[in-house]
Every structure is written in structure tokens, then in C-alpha cells.
């Protein structure tokens, strides 16, 4: 059993891929504080199943004329755009999301990548959150 878990963690395999469009996904971890380490946010996330994939969402605000270019670049890494309902003045709020296993290192790398992407496109990276389906009782 331990070998199977290690295999899945290393190669990201799971019995069934997590569908980001599922209606039962809940926010299980988040950070909208630039100075908070991802490890701290993940340690605080009591509902996060670290052995399962999550939908990692990055909340950005970008100028309207920069959205297409930023989304194209993020798409190379498997991110998809989701519209946001939040109002934000001159900048348009968007969410870029993808399914992945969360750990402090990868979360930190992706947060940094999105902050750089937003900055290069005259925008702001507000933060990130992660969604998973509710845990079932054993």
C-alpha cells in the first residue's frame, strides 16, 4: 500500500481525474497574504487531503488588453481561465486554475509563477485557493 501511495505521489496518478467543474468542490486551503508562506497556509488547511489532487486557483487582476496574452502563457502549463464575479476598477479579475497535487514547494513555485505573470502583464496576483470534494467518512 505504501508503494502504491508513493507511486501515485511521484507520478500523479489517481484512479479518476478530478473534474474542476464538479459542483461539490469546496475551498480547503487559501492564501491572499503576500508574506504568508505556502507551507503555513497548507499547514492551516485542516480539510486538505494531501494524498489527493486539488484544483489550484490563482486570483489575478489584469488589464483587459493583457488577458488573452497572459492566459495563453498560463495555458502552456495547463492552466485554464475561469471568469470571476468580483469587481475591480480598471483591472479585470480572472481566475487561472489547474488540477494538481499540492505540497508546499509546488504551491510556492506556482504562486511565484503567477505573481510574475501578473506583473509582466501590468496586473496583480491577489492570492490562491485550492478546492477538493468533501472528504467521505471512513
Query: What pTM, to 2 d.p., does this model score?
Result: 0.83
Q: How far apart are CA 79 and CA 96, in angstroms?
A: 6
Q: What integer pLDDT is reported at residue 83 of this predicted model? A: 74
Q: pLDDT in tens for each of the 138 residues of the chain?
A: 344 344 444 554 444 689 998 889 999 999 999 999 999 999 999 999 999 999 999 999 999 999 999 999 999 999 999 877 666 678 999 999 999 999 999 999 999 999 999 999 999 999 999 999 987 755
CATH-assigned architecture of domain 2-132: 2-Layer Sandwich (3.30)
Give domain limits for the chain.
2-132
Cα–Cα distances in angstroms (integers) from residue 87 to residues 56, 57, 61, 67, 123, in the given order = 21, 18, 10, 16, 14
What is the reported pLDDT for 3? 40
The C-alpha atoms of residue 138 and residue 116 are separated, in whole angstroms, by 41
Amino acid at each position: 500500500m505504501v508503494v502504491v501511495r508513493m507511486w501515485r505521489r511521484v507520478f500523479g496518478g489517481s484512479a479518476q481525474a478530478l473534474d474542476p467543474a464538479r459542483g461539490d468542490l469546496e475551498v480547503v486551503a487559501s492564501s491572499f497574504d503576500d508574506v504568508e508562506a505556502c507551507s503555513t497556509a497548507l499547514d492551516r488547511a485542516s480539510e486538505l487531503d494531501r494524498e489527493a489532487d486539488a484544483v489550484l486557483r490563482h486570483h489575478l487582476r489584469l488589464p483587459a488588453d493583457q488577458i488573452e496574452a497572459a492566459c495563453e502563457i498560463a495555458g502552456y502549463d495547463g492552466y485554464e481561465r475561469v471568469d470571476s464575479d468580483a469587481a475591480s476598477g480598471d483591472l479585470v479579475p480572472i481566475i487561472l486554475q489547474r488540477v494538481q497535487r499540492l505540497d508546499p514547494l509546488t504551491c510556492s513555485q506556482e504562486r511565484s509563477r503567477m505573481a510574475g505573470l501578473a506583473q509582466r502583464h501590468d496586473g496583480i496576483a491577489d492570492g490562491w485557493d485550492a478546492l477538493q470534494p468533501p472528504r467521505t467518512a471512513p
